[in-house]
């Protein structure tokens, strides 16, 4: 069942877990989920509890999972229709993105703080990354940041200033620009609120990122750059973050509507390989 329905009600204070065990990573963001086999079809209660943990912690992690590609996609589909990435599609499985780096890589996907594909008119609700191979000598962690807290800890005059503003998010600057990909046709470019309201929790979150956000609408480039840089530096504070250390057969499931993430490329020339499915979202 899709998450992006504004009629859903989420009560953080009434969560009781009966089918899973949830261990928070930090007080602010992230939790590991235990006592669940994601290769099996989830019961309604298991689904509800995993969904509740995601809503409470913004990103959740699972260890020691053994999933086929079809089981990975089936897990994602429990949360909504799967999104098709504008530029990266696995042969035979267009819903799957291969996340990979090795001795031939010139860059890695995700090394700049971002929320996934915010250039899309309907950015993804969430992303589910299943890591198959991790660097032999360590490294390759992923960092996540809580964008609710980033918004809520801004000074009140700043919150008042940015509430109601919108910004342009451009795919061309990422895929043809920084990543130098040869991509036929037009890439997505969209206008989204600088502060979005989460459709399930009702909380406000900052919704700009260094990767895709180009300019705040109605401001000069100088004004926009100054405000965006301040928001980026504020949101990347350590006390809003958690850090996940990958092991083979680990899964991270993050809510793109209220988080950003950054992949560490500190393992060159070691290899890192995984599959990601992305759950479709709605217009912010």
Q: Phi/psi at 111 (nearest 5 deg)? A: -80, -10
Residue with tokens 């509430």: 163
User: In whole angstroms, what separates CA 141 from the centre of its chain?
Assistant: 15
Task: Give the number of C-alpha atoms closer than 13 A to the C-alpha of residue 279, restricted to the C-beta side.
Answer: 23
**Which of the residues 116, 192, 198, 204 is marked catalytic?**
116
Q: How far is CA 152 from the centre of its chain?
A: 19
Catalytic status, residue 116: yes
Q: Which of 169, 198, 257, 261 is catalytic?
A: 261
Q: Is 51 a catalytic residue?
A: no
Residue with tokens 């390759």: 140
- Respond yes or no: is residue 114 known to be catalytic: yes
| Residue 32 bridge partners (DSSP) | 23, 61
Confirm if 5 and 199 have CB atoms less than 8 A apart: yes
Active site residue 173: no
Choice among 51, 57, 85, 114 that is catalytic: 114
Residues with catalytic function? 114, 116, 261, 276
């Amino acid at each position: 069942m899709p998450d992006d329905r504004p009629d859903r009600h989420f009560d953080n204070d009434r969560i009781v877990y009966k089918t899973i065990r949830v261990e928070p990573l930090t007080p602010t963001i992230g939790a590991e989920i235990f006592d669940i086999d994601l290769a099996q079809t989830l019961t309604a209660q298991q689904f509800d509890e995993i969904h509740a943990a995601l809503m409470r912690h913004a990103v959740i992690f699972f260890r020691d999972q053994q999933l086929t590609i079809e089981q990975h996609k089936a897990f994602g589909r429990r949360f909504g229709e799967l999104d098709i990435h504008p530029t990266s599609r696995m042969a035979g499985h267009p819903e799957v993105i291969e996340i990979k780096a090795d001795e031939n890589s010139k860059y890695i996907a995700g090394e700049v703080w971002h929320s996934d594909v915010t250039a899309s008119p309907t950015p993804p609700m969430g992303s589910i990354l299943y890591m198959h191979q991790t660097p032999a000598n360590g490294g390759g962690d992923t960092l996540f940041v809580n964008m609710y807290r980033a918004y809520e800890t801004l000074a009140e005059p700043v919150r008042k200033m940015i509430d109601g503003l919108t910004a342009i998010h451009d795919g061309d600057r990422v895929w043809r620009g920084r990543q130098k990909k040869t991509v036929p046709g037009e890439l997505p470019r969209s206008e989204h609120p600088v502060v979005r309201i989460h459709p399930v929790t009702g909380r406000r979150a900052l919704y700009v990122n260094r990767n895709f956000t180009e300019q705040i609408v109605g401001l000069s480039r100088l004004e926009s750059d100054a405000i965006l840089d301040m928001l980026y530096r504020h949101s990347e504070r350590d006390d809003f973050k958690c850090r996940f250390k990958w092991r083979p057969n680990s899964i991270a499931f993050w809510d793109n509507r209220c988080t950003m993430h950054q992949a560490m490329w500190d393992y060159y020339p070691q290899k890192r390989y995984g599959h990601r499915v992305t759950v479709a979202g709605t217009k912010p």
